[in-house]
Amino acid sequence: MSNYLEITPDGLKHYDLNTEKNRQYKIKKFPESYKACVIDRKTKEQVFEGTEKEVDRFFYDETPIEGVWSKLRSTCHIHKDATLGDFYRIIDDDPTLQFLIQCFFPFHDTMEICSNEASPKEIVVSRKAELNHDHMRWTSAVDGIVSPDNSGSKLIFTETIPVFLNGKQVGEGKNTWSFLEILDALMGAGAPRESVKIKKDKFETSAGETESIMAWAMGPATIDPDVTLQDIFNLVDKDELLKTFLSEYSWCHAIDEIHAAAQPHSPSESITEIHVYDRSRLTNAGYFDIGAEISGIGPIDEDAAKAYENSTSPLPEFETYSVSATPIAEIAPLPVKVVNGYTFLQNLNKKISHSRDFTLLEILDAIYWEISFYGSPADAAEMLQEMGEVVNTIKLEETVQ
């Protein structure tokens, strides 16, 4: 990972990967002792030794946090001595975090630091994956009371996720927490999660009209069948707070340029709709990668169909396309649908198809992260042009040879 956060007794720390150190040194691990050392690639000399976590940290430099909203998706570690009070102080010291918590978790109590000698020693937060009747749920549980009265309690976030299939545990994976997931676990614990329906002209909630949909961003969301990407652009554009948040959280700093580039529409000839699906997987390294993604979907063309004529694999129902560099005007008029996905347990050689509920934030983040992957529409067009020039150069060289 290129950066991470850490909740410590001294506040929230941010670390960036030092690429020069990464090139100059390598890690040698000693699994039997859970220790490791750093070795200079040229001299072969050992320059540092410690626990695996201490050695990993050797390659990172502490850097200032410039806007915490853009760091919410970063992996966040918990220092071994960090307490709930340290977490509260981090919130107290950052007005933008206080504002975000009031938006996302309006039911949490106003926080103030209290000492209580009778408070429990630990607050343990865990997570698990449950698949029942083809429906996947990722759930968090808090063992302990999240209250200012328990500010002295040590914070512990478990590093494994057990996987249950119809009530039976079939495996487990390593787990990392983003800073937003930690906020959600501690601030949103036990809070009601109202559902949201994305319609062509509004975000519909049980509370009726609202100035901003941010208070419902962490709740489950569905999309009406006739909603297009353009409709979603229009809804986000009308909610200034939501738009500002997505520009930071989803790293979509060109959000205004993207919205402007959506019209006039020029529908894609190959892509007919946009699918939102679960991309969760358990890798060979044993880590869970949890989240949502979008893809463009279109009919299988003749060339692709011919490629499957002599294949043992069945012909897919549709063709899948990345839309990260597709001109926005081509995909804006297309319908957006939430579809069933699967969790790939790679190290268990299991591919489990399922449906799952997505939060409003997951759906919007999947969209805005993907369509701004290469930056603004102009940046994406420039990247495609450069790729085309490289391909043409290679073809020319092959012709000459």
The two structure tokens encoding residue 361: 């934030």
Q: What is the pLDDT along the chain (401 residues), one digit of tens a residue?
A: 689 999 999 999 999 999 899 899 999 988 778 799 999 999 999 999 998 888 988 999 999 998 999 999 999 999 999 999 999 999 999 999 999 998 888 766 544 333 444 456 899 999 998 888 888 888 888 888 888 888 899 999 998 999 888 889 888 888 889 999 999 999 886 666 788 999 999 999 877 767 789 989 998 999 999 999 999 999 999 999 999 999 999 999 999 999 999 999 999 989 999 999 988 777 777 788 888 999 999 998 877 777 777 777 777 788 889 999 999 999 999 999 998 776 666 555 666 677 888 999 999 999 999 999 999 999 998 988 888 878 777 766 667 66
CA dist 334 and 320 (Å) reads: 14
Q: With contact defined as beta carbons under 8 Å apart, do 372 and 250 qualify?
A: yes
Rg (CA), the chain: 24
Q: How far from 261 is each of 229, 245, 332, CA to CA, in Å?
A: 13, 20, 9
CA dist 58 and 321 (Å) reads: 40
Residue ranges of the domains in the chain?
81-187, 196-381
Q: How far from 16 is each of 98, 148, 281, CA to CA, in Å?
A: 25, 32, 26
Per residue in 332-380, pLDDT tens? 999 999 987 766 665 556 666 778 889 999 999 999 999 999 999 999 9
Q: Which residues contact 197 (CB under 8 A, 6 or more apart)?
A: 203, 204, 205, 221, 222, 223, 224
Exposure string over 47-71, b if 16+ CB within 10 A, otherwise e: ebeeeeeebbbbbbeeeeeeebbeb
pLDDT of residue 314: 77
pLDDT of residue 345: 62
From the DSSP assignment, how many helices (H) and strands (E) are in the chain?
12, 24
Residue type, 97: L
Residue type, 67: G
Other Cβ atoms closer than 10 A to 155: 23
pLDDT of residue 97: 94
Q: Which residues contact 190 (CB under 8 A, 6 or more apart)?
A: none
Q: With contact defined as beta carbons under 8 Å apart, do 223 and 338 qualify?
A: yes
pTM over 0.85: yes
Helix (H) or strand (E) holding 165: strand 160-165
Closest CA to 121 of 94, 167, 84: 84
CA dist 344 and 284 (Å) reads: 10
